[in-house]
Structure 1
Amino acid sequence: MGSLFKGFERIEEARDRLSGRSFMAGLFAGRPDFPLLLLPEESPAETEVWESYRPRLETFLTTQVDPDEIERTAKIPDAVLQGLFAIGAFGMKIPKEYGGLGFSYTNYGRALMLIASWSNVLALTVAVPQSIGIAMPVLLFGTEEQKRKYLPLVAREAISAFALTESVTGSDAANVQTDAVLDSGGMAYRLSGEKLWCTNGTIARYITLIARVPARRELCDGRTVWVPVPEGKEAEDRVHTAFILDMDLPGVRVRQRCQFEGCRGIENAYMTFRNVRIPAANVIGDVGRGLKYALTILNVGRAISIPAICLGMAKQAWQPTLDRANDRVTFQRPLAERQTQRMRVGRMAADLFAMEALAFSVWRMADRRDYDVRIESAIAKICCSERTIRFLKDAQTIFGGMGYETADSKRVRGEPAFGIEQLVRDAEMYRIGEGATDILRPFVAREALDPHLERARTYLEEEPIGLRRLVKLGSLAAFYIPWYLRQWIPSPLPSRPEFRHPNVRPKLRFVERASRRLARAMFYSVAWHRQALRDDQGRQNRIESIGEDLAAIAITGLYAEAQRGTAGYVEAWDLADEVFREAKVRVKRQIRALISNRDARSAGLGVKTLGGACPALSAGIIARGLRDYQMPEKDAVGTGEGRKQAAV
């Protein structure tokens, strides 16, 4: 059903159907399975692993890492990277048998959150090799020989990276143009192309690279597989394939270390490949399944790395913000006594609690191998990145002018040198990286609509006529009439003590009711809009937004009860109630807008302005278009042979 989501056709081909338990899948279907949110308590052994490692990591950060120096110089010192290798921080997710620490996802998330609370740039540098560098694809899809050769290296001495994005692709992962062609001897591939925004690319020894391989289909052991063709002759298609690339190979060129608004210490590369010879043994998994592998490993970053880093950044800002609100006096009154700021801080507290509850829940789901967390991962990434930006902007508002000034500038006068402006600049990276919000929302909607899209394939994608139309409509009616009637019948909450708590029960009842309303609204959207739904990102975004808020309500309610029961944290109920209060209003509004909205009017105005219908909006200035800012091609960094390593 890829044609219903325009531009996602290649990604749709690589997509697997949900293969494990998923709370979000049930919620979108109108039948949330609340017991899926009651995950087993962490084992004492896993708790001990973290408690024994945490002091070592914390001591290293506070004694060996100067985050202000990283921001000032835009460089992580080599001594810091080597120190992290020495304490195993680059091998947290690698099993002990291959030289790593063998952490659970939950402990890995805790570690990244701790590092990010000291330096989010350092946390990102540590996360990339383990989330999307060669560690995860080799672990999940590589041969035993590849695991024994490469995993000890990236755990203890060699930084790795992930090369997917190209200048013409952005978030369109399927539109890779880099080629890897099997040579005539069948022993190596010749790689040509380029990659952009490869985090850690300027310092990596190995990268996971996705390229297109000319291949043809063949039948092998009863299944159709892609077989690469020498020199690309008689190929049926160019299929996405994953490789381990040694950055020391001849023909690899790092053309530029990219610079960004924030995250100044990251080593992000624009690189080119000219006739690079990659041994055939360096193919990861099967030819033609590289995009599938890429989508799978990106789930790790979405579920664990990005939420953990965002949580660390928000928690880093929390206490300084409270201190500022309590200490700053305006018009003879502390800022903390003003209702506007009290409301702002209350919302910040609720956001932080929701992010923590959602992140830890998804981490624990990921540790359970019988869960399919692709929807939960995307929602966790969206929720944590978006709320962190709002959280940090609220904190900057409380700091006022001090929030706009750099830490180094404040230090000169003896002011507390807390860099909230840096955190605000850095946070945008996590909204964009590993699946931008505007891409992940349609992705979630696609998964949510999957049962309808599969069942009504013929009805949605073509116009049945005559008897064939009647037969199809009859078949759909036989299923959907009883299905639709069930969506009006409440389902009782499971008879477990966690769900009977007076502060949990009303929240879950609202989620169950709203889930059925959402299921009906999604059904109306599919039935009425059919093919038009593929371009209706307004409705797609609302589907994700409603699911995100309902998940936040359910998870924070149960999380608050767990916090109260195990840690005596009674204030958790105030936080969960605030999450519920705000989310409930949004859910009701978004469900109504899912059925009836004015998106077409706004989009129509956008069409006019994109077509040049409002030139007066540029009047009164020295008008320049985007191309006016482009340097001559001869001066661009990508031309010529360049250097092996771009200048820092």
Structure 2
Amino acid sequence: MSIAAPFLVLLLVGAFAAYHRMRLATWTALTAVALVAAWLLGAHPVATIVAAVITALIAVPLLVPAIRLPTITAPLLGFYTKILPPLSETERVALEAGTVGFEGELFSGKPDWQVLLDQPAPTLTAEEQAFIDGPVEELCRMTNDWDITHVRADLPPEMWEFIKKNKFFGMIVPKEYGGLGFSALGNHKVIQKLASVSSVVSSTVGVPNSLGPAELLMHYGTQEQKDHYLPRLADGREVPCFALTGPWAGSDATSIPDFGIVCMGDWNGANVVGVKLTFDKRYITLAPVASLIGMAFRMYDPDGILGDKRDIGISLALLPRETPGIDIGRRHFPLNSPFQNGPLSGREVFIPLSQLIGGEAYAGKGWQMLVECLSIGRSITLPSTASGGAKLAAVATGSYARIRKQFGLSIGRFEGVQEALARIAGNAYTISALSEASAAAVARGELPAVPSTISKYHCTEMGRQVAQDAMDIHGGKGIILGPKNYLGRAWQASPIAITVEGANIMTRSLMIFGQGAILCHPWVLKEMKAATLEDEDERLREFDRNLFGHIGFAISNAVRSLWFGLTGARFGKAPGDAYTRRFYRKLNRYSAALALCADTSMLLLGGKLKFKESLSGRLGDVLSQLYITSALLKRYEDWGRPEADQPLLAWSFHDAVHKMEVSLSAALRNFPVRPVGWLLWALIFPLGRRAQAPSDRLGRRAASLLMTPNEARDRLAEGVFTTPTATNPAGRIDSYLPAVVLAEPVERKFLKALKSSGIESLTFAEQLEEGVREGWITADERRQLEELREMTVDAISVDDFDPAELRSAGYREDDQPQRDVA
């Protein structure tokens, strides 16, 4: 044993230093002290000397720059430059456009949770809250979604006027230009509430406040452009749209074939330098009604009018609707969610250079402008829409499951329904936390490139799951369209959110990890920049500093992954209270595992990693779930650690951790270099996978929160339109829940009397009358049961129509082919 002791000391001290990320000099000193102590305590002298020599062989070359730089760093720099994947201009712009927030800590393998907890709790200003309580509430009351989606296929004129008059299109426009000057959080809360009553209304309001002319003008517009257009956009004199997508360029926006040729032309009676645009766009929201069109195109200068550069690059311009040559096409019809959306095209449409957003100075900088603004818009509109729909579906479905009875029981008492209710509750809680977190990041001044893609992808995917589960619980109530249906349109519209602003398949497999692995990693981007420095000495020094920081980082994450795997992450410093501390520790484990897998993948695969989309998607899932769980814990802390919310927090957290392990497992089992995958598995899962999906017991607790009036349910419903109006059936059903719960004991007593007391009446009214006459219920209880029956009828009723009402306005019976009758 005395022979093995020095080597054991060497191993343990090294592991201890790596776990705590000590400097190499500190490790060397600790090892020396430990070896001396081992010698004095009786360790074998020769073994101790051998261990000391090993320590010296490692430490001396690495600690002495005169040895390390020429013999180790320089050869590694040469190798690195050979395997360094070339970055396209598109990729370079995307990386440089974003900022890194707390997601960078999650990629560190050792998150500083205080950074997250020190972020201010998201709060609305008094002005924003007043707007939500006033004009937004009123707009929701005006909304009749059936009239919008089926009868008109549009908002009624009075709603358009109300939206413009109350500056809904100018929420993000600064006050000095006549807008409301709301924060990103205020924008999020408005869209969330509107989406809870109609996705058409939320889309109509959301798009002008997302990526579009106003956002782009605020960041890049000339002063003249701001002074002219922003006041008109704020008060609705201009209705904007932004034309990016076309038939040949969807998710691959940089490949747009639409072009503009620099030339001379006439504009307002003068001959000026401008651009002749030829374009073909589709899927453009608000295009059919827009008066101001933002246009993305590739700009060329074949005659050298502006300089030597012929392909100037992607540029952005503003086109008034009346500009000659623009053809506003007919409307698209997106899945029975008929927000204004359609194609537009033009051939040799001339505009002066003054119509370029930012003027001539921003010619060719369109992709950079788009990427910077996309991360803002993607953080808000679609996540907020998913949040509003999911939260309303949660409370309405919970009420419906309590009201609707089958086999003498509320359907929410059946375990199969409880499983779906639990998913609804957990996903709605998660969407709410995640969408608010991404909006808060924008409000803090960040450009959250990675969080925006995480939020867009996962909010819309979870929103689709909520819609599916709600439809399953409602059954026939959900599939029969009409004024009483509050789910059907949301179900039909769910694929829209999956598709727009970057298709979700591409977002998951290419963007989340592809961007995060470089942008969020503490060393990779620094190494890449160091390797491209022009000064040779500076390049070597900077690369040396970042390289060995990265090596220590990787060793630390391997040690931390193994330790957390062996101990189940039960130990270690973590914030939170007695309930949540274990959650933070688990996230420490998966943060280290993600960092280890990312480093290994980038080292072994290099530039080929971008083509390993399944691996990238799975590692992106891990990063996403880390960010999601962080948002959940931050929300729990911001709300004051409410005990009533713990079932929702726990269900959402365990669901996320289970998904993390599934994704890590799939990534390692399918790792391209199989032996390395086996080694990573041994480090990350030394005792096998342990995370389980939320238990049935926890699911029942989460489901019961939706079916009972309580403070956790109220917090979940915060910010959505639950006012019980004639055109808001979901709000009416939700409002019935307290009375339904109070009436249930009376109902049970009455049903028992029906079975055991020989009541002979057949109709409900006669049975009640007999029950009062016989003394089984009181007159007050009779009124209570009558009210319960009325609420139940309203909750379960569906619509029916005259056949002519369902025919298209263009239908003519005499135009239909006649069938032969045998």
Bucket of the pairwise TM-score, normalised by the shorter protein: 0.7 to 0.9
SS in 2 for 1:263: coil
* Alignment-mate amino acid for residue 70 of structure 1: I
Contact 2:172/2:183, CA 8 A, preserved across alignment = yes
- CA pair 531-19 structure 1, distance change in 2 beyond 3 A: closer
CA shift at 1:425, angstroms? 0.8
- CA pair 483-396 structure 1, distance change in 2 beyond 3 A: same
CA shift at 1:575, angstroms? 0.8
Aligned length: 562
Q: Who is 1:389 aligned against?
A: 464
- CA pair 485-336 structure 1, distance change in 2 beyond 3 A: same
SS in 2 for 1:262: coil
Contact 1:378/1:444, CA 8 A, preserved across alignment = yes
Confirm or deny that 1:205 pairs with 2:291.
Answer: yes
Q: Who is 1:182 aligned against?
A: 262
CA shift at 1:583, angstroms? 1.4
Q: Who is 1:440 aligned against?
A: 507
2:199 and 2:433 map into 1 onto residues whose CA distance is 20
1:434 and 1:538 map into 2 onto residues whose CA distance is 21
1:580-601 per-residue CA deviation (whole Å, 9 max, x = no partner) reads 1111122122123223328999
SS in 1 for 2:294: strand
Confirm or deny that 1:11 pairs with 2:94.
Answer: no
* Alignment-mate amino acid for residue 247 of structure 1: R
1:376-417 per-residue CA deviation (whole Å, 9 max, x = no partner) reads 111111111010000010000001122222125xxxxxxxx1
SS in 2 for 1:249: coil
Matches within 5 A, 1:97-136: 97-136=176-215
CA shift at 1:206, angstroms? 0.7
Contact 1:20/1:372, CA 8 A, preserved across alignment = yes
Q: Who is 2:602 aligned against?
A: 526
Contact 2:105/2:111, CA 8 A, preserved across alignment = yes
Aligned partner (choices 586, 605, 609) of residue 659 of structure 2: 586
Matches within 5 A, 1:379-458: 379-408=454-483, 417-441=484-508, 442-450=510-518, 451=521, 454=525
Q: Who is 2:551 aligned against?
A: 481
* Alignment-mate amino acid for residue 348 of structure 2: N
Contact 1:202/1:267, CA 8 A, preserved across alignment = yes
Q: Who is 1:640 aligned against?
A: none
Confirm or deny that 1:269 pairs with 2:342.
Answer: yes
1:278 and 1:502 map into 2 onto residues whose CA distance is 64
1:20-40 per-residue CA deviation (whole Å, 9 max, x = no partner) reads 441112212323332332321
Between structure 1 and structure 2, the one with the greater Rg is 2
Matches within 5 A, 1:9-408: 9=88, 11-17=90-96, 20-38=99-117, 39-42=119-122, 46-72=124-150, 73-156=152-235, 157-184=237-264, 187-215=273-301, 229-230=304-305, 235-264=309-338, 266-285=339-358, 286-369=362-445, 371-408=446-483
1:504 and 1:54 map into 2 onto residues whose CA distance is 33
CA shift at 1:8, angstroms? 9.0
* Alignment-mate amino acid for residue 357 of structure 1: A
1:61-102 per-residue CA deviation (whole Å, 9 max, x = no partner) reads 244332211111211223211111111111111111001011
CA shift at 1:247, angstroms? 1.5
Identity of aligned residues (%): 23
- CA pair 478-490 structure 1, distance change in 2 beyond 3 A: closer
SS in 1 for 2:232: helix
Deviates more, 1:205-214 or 1:398-407: 398-407
CA shift at 1:137, angstroms? 0.2
2:547 and 2:186 map into 1 onto residues whose CA distance is 49
Contact 2:213/2:242, CA 8 A, preserved across alignment = yes
1:116 and 1:196 map into 2 onto residues whose CA distance is 24
CA shift at 1:238, angstroms? 4.7
Contact 2:450/2:515, CA 8 A, preserved across alignment = yes
Confirm or deny that 1:548 pairs with 2:621.
Answer: no
SS in 2 for 1:500: coil
SS in 2 for 1:158: coil
Structure 1 runs not aligned, ≥5 long = 217-227, 409-416, 462-470, 602-648
1:324-374 per-residue CA deviation (whole Å, 9 max, x = no partner) reads 2112223333211111111211121111111111111221221112x3411
Contact 2:213/2:240, CA 8 A, preserved across alignment = yes
- CA pair 399-522 structure 1, distance change in 2 beyond 3 A: same
- CA pair 482-453 structure 1, distance change in 2 beyond 3 A: closer
Contact 2:97/2:368, CA 8 A, preserved across alignment = no
CA shift at 1:41, angstroms? 3.6
1:19 and 1:291 map into 2 onto residues whose CA distance is 13
SS in 2 for 1:202: helix
1:5 and 1:448 map into 2 onto residues whose CA distance is 17
SS in 1 for 2:330: strand
2:476 and 2:394 map into 1 onto residues whose CA distance is 18
Q: Who is 1:464 aligned against?
A: none
Contact 1:389/1:427, CA 8 A, preserved across alignment = yes
1:167 and 1:19 map into 2 onto residues whose CA distance is 28
The two structures have a TM-score, normalised by structure 1, of 0.80
- CA pair 473-422 structure 1, distance change in 2 beyond 3 A: same
Aligned Cα root-mean-square deviation (Å): 3.3
Structure 2 runs not aligned, ≥5 long = 1-79, 265-270, 533-540, 675-822
- CA pair 598-487 structure 1, distance change in 2 beyond 3 A: closer
CA shift at 1:59, angstroms? 4.1
Deviates more, 1:153-162 or 1:498-507: 498-507
1:315 and 1:240 map into 2 onto residues whose CA distance is 40
2:83 and 2:365 map into 1 onto residues whose CA distance is 23
* Alignment-mate amino acid for residue 501 of structure 2: E
SS in 2 for 1:118: coil
CA shift at 1:141, angstroms? 0.8
* Alignment-mate amino acid for residue 622 of structure 2: I
1:511 and 1:13 map into 2 onto residues whose CA distance is 30
Contact 2:379/2:456, CA 8 A, preserved across alignment = yes
SS in 1 for 2:314: strand
Q: Who is 2:584 aligned against?
A: 508
Contact 1:498/1:558, CA 8 A, preserved across alignment = no
SS in 1 for 2:155: coil
